[in-house]
Amino acid sequence: MSQVEHETRTQPTVADPVPLGLGALAVTMFLFSAKNAGWTDGTDAWLGYALAFGGLVQLLAGMWEFRNRDVFWATAFSSYGAFWLGLGLYVVLLSGIAGPAEQGNDLGWIMVAFAIFTSYLVLWSTQVNQAVLAVFVTFEATLIILFIGNLTTTETTVRIGGYIGVLTALCAWYTSAATLLNAMLGRPALQLGEPVFRDLLPR
């Protein structure tokens, strides 16, 4: 096999969708968390972006990662794209039917289900880099706090979940920006950190 053929076969078939997927997560999480934190005067400004950017675009990023054979990001982006789509559809179709207690119960169980899913992505993100680990740790904390706040219908707890969600968005924005710039320059211009536990998974 020639060097050209080898490089063609080993290069990703599409551009790295990680900056796009993380950017979609960051924007949607920020808008959603600003509402939870009580910063916005409107009602559901986050909703359209949950369906279009956090949902559809992140799902597309996951599909492109399947083509790139990156199982971690393919699983993460596809699942969180579905998370935002499902959450958006719930608000559009069902939240007006349920009362505050029932809606809080529904949202609480949605959050805990994705907190369980996110828990093992936190573990496996230790194999990627420290910036990615920060995204998933803060996302996990956001989901857990929102689970508690919604299930107990405690506004203060939901607000705390909103603040942690904003931190999640900031971590995702930085990781998106760093990954994008590093890919454009072909060198590590912005630091992402080394994997935390290199030997967690058997080789």
166-183: average pLDDT: 98
Structural domain includes residue 195: no
Q: Spell out a b/e string for 173-195, using b for 16 or more CB atoms within 10 Å of the CB, else e.
A: bbbbebbbebeeeeeeeeebeeb
- Structural domain span for residue 145: 14-185
Domain CATH code at residue 29 = 1.25.40
Question: What 3-state DSSP class applies to 7?
Answer: helix
Structural domain includes residue 124: yes
Structural domain includes residue 34: yes
Q: What does the pLDDT read at residue 14?
A: 76
Grade residue 202 by pLDDT with cuts at 50, 70 and 90: low
Structural domain includes residue 7: no
pLDDT higher than threshold 80 for residue 7: no
6-31: average pLDDT: 82
CA dist., res. 168 & res. 157, Å (int): 16
Q: What is the pTM of this model?
A: 0.90
25-30: average pLDDT: 98
Structural domain includes residue 5: no
Tens digits of residue pLDDT in 88-113:
999 988 867 878 888 999 999 999 99
Structural domain includes residue 101: yes
Lowest-pLDDT range of 56-65, 96-105, 144-153: 96-105
Structural domain includes residue 3: no
Structural domain includes residue 117: yes
As for how many domains the chain has, the answer is 1
Does residue 198 contact residue 127 with C-beta atoms inside 8 Å?
A: yes
Sequence-separated contacts (24+) of 144-148 with Cβ below 8 Å = 144/111, 144/112, 144/115, 146/36, 146/107, 146/108, 146/111, 147/108, 147/109, 147/111, 147/112, 147/115, 148/108
Give the closest residue to 30 by CA, choosing from 178, 192, 164.
Answer: 164
